[in-house]
Every structure is written in structure tokens, then in C-alpha cells.
Chain A
Amino acid sequence: MLGHNARRPAVDKLMEDAYPGAQASAIARARAESLVLEYQVKLARYLRRMVADAEVALDLTQDVFLSAFRMLQADPQRELTAGWLYRAATNAAISFLRRKKVLRMLPLDREVDRPSATLRTWGVDERSAASVDLQIALAHLPPQQSAALLLTSYVGYSSAEAAEILGTTSDAIRQRVCRAMRVLRATMSEEK
């Protein structure tokens, strides 16, 4: 685990991008910085699972923070919860996946047939069978199901909290989790 100090230079530069000319108020700056320090790893990991690409995940994480910073710049007292960040991250991932689909016009599962070739792009640790299983399952799932599964079992939200983030009901989340679980189960048993 990198210490906070090791991350500080990157945070400073990110802040400069968000607040060119360093006009940010001290409060906004401090709040933005603590957001990054607390959530950059969590959000990036979540996003990497969503988009199956470490580099894209980094870019999207950065986008989420930049939009958070802009909101803080407009109103330094504005409350920005973890739920807000995850919602923004989910939306960013879903719109990325949509764009990518249009661009590539190839179903994602074409790659899933050859997981070894794509593990590196995914940035998934191939030594962990669970990690690979999860990522293969996610590649087969609609983004809304992926998000429901990840926000609950991976990030740790309850179905009610995940429902609020995704703008739906707890029952819908449970149903999505169940459907995602079915795919995950199929992924796991195929390997035996």
C-alpha cells in the first residue's frame, strides 16, 4: 500500500488541472484532496472491473474526480458522498462501454473465449482464479448487472444503498445480483 505522501504529487497536479491558476479556495482544495486520497484506489478498482481495462479505469477515475472538483469549486460546502462518487463512476463506465460498443461493433465475449490474451489488458491478477472468474463473468453481463454485483459484493454496499446509487429499488438490485450470480456460477463450473 502506497502511503499518502507518495500520492501527493499526483494529487497536486490533478488539482491544478481542476483549478487552473490555483484559484481554488483552501476549503475546496482540502476537501478535493481528501476525496482523492480516500477514494482513488477504490474507485479505480471498481471501474477496472466495470470496463475491464486498467488504463481506461484510471482515466475514468480521473474524470469522476475532476467533475467532483468542479462541483466543489462552485460550492465548497457541497456534500459529496461516496455514493455520489460511485454513481458518477458507474455512469462514466456505462457511457464508456456504450461508446466502445459502437466503435468496435464486436461483442465483448469474443475476447472471453480467449481469456489469456486479454488478462493483461484487464489488468487482472491471473494467479487469482476468483479474480479471473469474476472478470469473465462481468464480461458477459449487461453493465447494470455488473454494477449491481460489484457495488454489493465487491464494494460492500447493501442492496438498499446500491439501489440508491443506481437509481432503482432494492428488489431490482437483488434480482440483478441473482442474474449476475447465475453467470458467475456458470463461469466457475466451466473450468472444472
Chain B
Amino acid sequence: MTMHCDCARAEMLAGAIALGETDEAQRDSYRNHLATCAGCRNDLGGEREIERVMATARQARDSERWEPVLRPAHMRTPERRSTWRWAAALAAAAALIVGFRAIDKPTIGTAPASQASVSSAQVARAVAALNTQTAPRRENQAESLSFASTRSGTLTLALSLDARGMPKQCTVTKSSGNRVLDRAVCRAAIKTASSRQSASP
């Protein structure tokens, strides 16, 4: 939509109406603009329409039931719910071995025993390397991969896949010496493999 100068002003007026910050003169001015501008009429709607749309945000807020309780920093390992569906029947599994390296990333002076985090891109790349025939790889989300650990290390893990390529099980065959890190990398590997698998057709 090309923005006429009046329309830019109408946007601000509509925003002000949405926030309940207008006086009668401003609302009149908005009505007058709508009367002459079909673009804004269709695009933004009248005051009642603005009210209807804005009510959504309020309803969303009022429907919140989430009562988060913060975790201390050294317990930051995300207990994420899986976002993929497990295959109902698991067929023959192929075990694959990958080495992961966790890199040290100091977090800002708060960690009691120093913290490290696993590079999500590395896990994603390593998992992608497992099976190159499946096309577009979905990069794993960074947010799932912030882990607490006491040091960096290398670990070896076996990732079992079912016939469809969905991850079935992850076993650490050689520990990095840190259980939290092991578990976190395993979880990341499973997540990356499964999201890649469900993203491919």
C-alpha cells in the first residue's frame, strides 16, 4: 500500500484510538479521513473495528495461566518437551556414532562452578552429517542448547534411528565426564535429528 501523507497521520490516530489516547476532535479527524480514504477504511477499519482487534490482546493477557518460577542459573538445562511425534512402530534401528565437542563459553560472572554451553550449530552440523541424503535440514534452535556444565569435553554417542529416520534412542558411549553435558548433547542430537526429519517431506 502506498502511504499517503494523510494516511501516515491516520495510522498514528488509529494507534492512539487503539490505546484509548484520543479526544473527540482526533476521533473526528480519523472519521473524516476514513470517509475519504478507502484504503484506510479497508485496512484499518473504524473505531469499533479497532476496539474489536485490540480486545484480542487484552483477552490474550487475561487468559494467561502460565505461572513461571525462575530457575537458578546453574540449573539452566532446559527440560524441553519434545516437539515431534514418535513413530508408532519403530522398525530396525541404525546406530550411528558421532563425536561432539562442547565449547567453552563463559557466562557472565554468575556461575558458581563456571559454565559452558554447547554450540547448537555444531550439534546441528554433526547430526546433519549423519545422513546426507535427506534434503533440507532445519537448523536446530539455539535456545534449546544452553547447558550448564563444569567444563568442556568430547563425548561419543550412539543415536539410534528408526526406519523413517526418526531418532529412537541416544546412548552416550563415551562420556565427557560430565553427566549434565552428556545428557544435554544427547537431547540436542535427538531434537535436531527429529526436527530435521519431520521438516523433510
Contacts and interface: CB of A to CB of B under 8 A. Distances in A.
Contact of B14 (A10, A154, A181): A181
Nearest to A179: B11
Contacts of B78: 55, 59
Interface stretch (A37-45, A74-82, A83-91): A37-45
B11 A178 contact: yes
Contacts of B12: 171, 174-175, 178
A45 B80 CA distance: 17
Q: How large is the interface on B (under 10, 10 to 19, 20 to 34, 35 or more residues)?
A: 35 or more
Given A105-B139, A173-B15, A178-B12, A58 B60 contact: no
Nearest to B124: A103
B141 interface: yes
A54 interface: yes
A105 B49 CA distance: 36
A36 B53 CA distance: 32
B48 interface: no
A45 B56 contact: no
A66 B110 contact: yes
Q: How large is the interface on A (under 10, 10 to 19, 20 to 34, 35 or more residues)?
A: 35 or more
Contacts of A61: 68, 70
B67 A59 contact: no
B4 interface: no
A16 B12 CA distance: 46
Interface of B: 8, 11-16, 18-19, 21, 43-45, 49-50, 53-61, 63-76, 78-81, 83, 108-112, 120-121, 138-139, 141-144, 146
Closest 10 CB pairs of A and B: A174-B15, A13-B72, A130-B59, A128-B63, A178-B15, A153-B57, A56-B143, A177-B15, A44-B68, A17-B73
24 contacts: A11-B70, A13-B71, A16-B112, A20-B110, A40-B68, A41-B68, A54-B68, A55-B80, A58-B70, A61-B70, A66-B110, A103-B121, A125-B65, A128-B59, A128-B63, A130-B63, A131-B59, A131-B60, A153-B61, A159-B19, A174-B16, A174-B21, A179-B11, A181-B18
